[in-house]
């Protein structure tokens, strides 16, 4: 990937992701009404392993932040790790559990535009929601 391609992916995320610790894991549903997530840098789709609605190239594992709210794909991790000074850690007993594939009802309800952040977005889950996990 060229330097200009890397720069295009950086749209002010540096202030939230510089120096963070990440761990690689299977994607899980943060909230019951979500069916997928996206890489914070390139928007690659990430779904629960076994999701019948996923295309073959959709990711099922990625790098998660400590609060396990934000996700970074392997490609962006490799390209940006040094520049943003990311550290890594192994799995921890406090990590959230994996979740089973979404139900047909969840897939049907997903419009592809499920809001992940309240207005203003950015920051860690704690900064965005005022708590470790969203309350709604």
For the chain, the structural domain boundaries read: 1-90
What pairs with residue 26 in β-bridges?
A: 61
Task: List per-residue pLDDT tens for the chain, 136 residues long.
Answer: 445 444 557 777 778 899 999 999 999 888 877 888 999 999 999 988 888 778 888 999 999 999 989 999 999 999 999 999 999 998 887 778 776 665 666 556 654 544 454 333 444 444 433 334 343 4
Looking only at the bridges linking them, the beta strands covering 71-72 and 61-65 are: antiparallel
Nearest to 65 by CA among 128, 108, 17: 17
pLDDT for res 130 = 39
């Amino acid at each position: 990937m060229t330097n200009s391609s890397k720069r295009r992916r950086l749209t002010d995320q540096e202030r939230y992701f510089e120096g963070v610790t990440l761990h690689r894991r299977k994607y899980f549903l943060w909230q019951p009404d979500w069916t997928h997530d996206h890489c914070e840098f390139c928007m690659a789709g990430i779904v629960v392993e076994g999701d019948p609605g996923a295309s073959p190239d959709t990711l099922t594992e990625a790098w998660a932040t400590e609060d396990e709210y934000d996700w970074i794909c392997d490609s962006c991790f490799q390209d940006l790790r040094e520049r943003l000074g990311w550290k890594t850690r192994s799995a921890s007993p406090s990590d959230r559990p994996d979740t089973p594939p979404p139900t047909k009802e969840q897939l049907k309800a997903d419009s592809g535009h499920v809001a992940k952040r309240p207005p203003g977005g950015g920051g860690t889950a704690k900064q965005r929601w005022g708590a470790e996990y969203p309350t709604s």
